[in-house]
Amino acid sequence: MVIVRVPATSANVGVGFDCLGLALDLTATFLMTPSDALEVDGCEERFRGEDNLVWRSYLDACEELGLEAQPLRITILSPIPLSGGLGSSSACVIAGIGAAMALSPEGFDRTRALELAVRLEGHPDNVAPALMGGLVSSFVEGDTTTSTRMDIADNLRFVAIAPPYEVRTADARRVLPAEVSRETAVWQMGRCVAVVRALETGDAGLLAAACHDRLHEPYRAKLIADYEPLRKAALAAGACAFMISGSGSTMLAVTDGAEAAERVAGALARTCPGYWLQTLPANTLGTTVEVH
């Protein structure tokens, strides 16, 4: 049996559009064993066939690695919501790659897994932190992905809230402007560097000052009906930052410490009762793969 554990992730981190991502301590577990025929358990019926993303990623990884694919029994134990924004699809991609590599003679290699994941997913902003843990900055040049990992300070907590509706990634891309001004570019670059520093050091004041995006959130917020009331509630309750997670619909409030996180979570729960809500520290391990 191959056991792959992959953390949830949040891409963009406000001002880090398409380059920053962080791993959260909310872990999906995938159990995979060789079988006579494909079997998929633990997910909705619509995801249990040949188009299952874990299975497709496993097949693609086998082809890339020059391996003969064999049928698997796949059991998915995932607390990551499917509404979008916390890397549920990236977790499945990495699970399939992890299984293929674990069943190969060479075994699992994180660097090679990142190359394959970027090729299959098309971008590194979720798969890189999912594999590496912590806060990761990535850029791609040609076929080469460069990812730089940093630790996130222990005092910071991330309150995630997910509405019961999805924001399609294609729609989230479509609403973005094709060009931005030099003023916006300068605004964004300075704050992106400051946000990275704030997350590394746990400087909540710096994070509050710097985490104000102009590239994507003003446009994508209009696709999330609850964005503005939730943002106001989180900041009024003491959050130092509030951001769209990935392209949405999940959102993240960042707090300084567990006590502040409890207050913010309570305010969000009162604003939108019944929504999926979790308070999470950062994940430091990234993906782990075991073979039994």
258: CATH: 3.30.70.890
pLDDT-derived band at 12 (thresholds 50, 70, 90) equals very high
Residue owning tokens 């960042």: 254
Residue range(s) defining the domain that contains residue 276: 156-280
Reported pTM: 0.95
pLDDT of residue 83: 73
Omega within 30 of 0 (cis) for the link into 249: yes
pLDDT of residue 75: 97
Same domain for 174 and 287, yes or no, is: no
Phi, psi angle pair for 8, to nearest 5°: -65, 160
Same domain for 130 and 144, yes or no, is: yes
pLDDT-derived band at 84 (thresholds 50, 70, 90) equals confident
Same domain for 204 and 124, yes or no, is: no
Average pLDDT, integer, range 135-153: 95
Phi, psi angle pair for 13, to nearest 5°: 50, 50
What is the amino acid identity at position 145? T
Same domain for 68 and 86, yes or no, is: yes
Same domain for 144 and 276, yes or no, is: no
Same domain for 129 and 173, yes or no, is: no
Number of domains in the chain: 2
Same domain for 13 and 51, yes or no, is: yes
Same domain for 36 and 133, yes or no, is: yes
Same domain for 146 and 56, yes or no, is: yes
Same domain for 67 and 178, yes or no, is: no
Same domain for 9 and 116, yes or no, is: yes
Write the pLDDT tens digit of every residue in 203-230: 999 999 999 999 999 999 999 999 999 9
Quick check: helix, strand or coil at residue 289?
A: strand
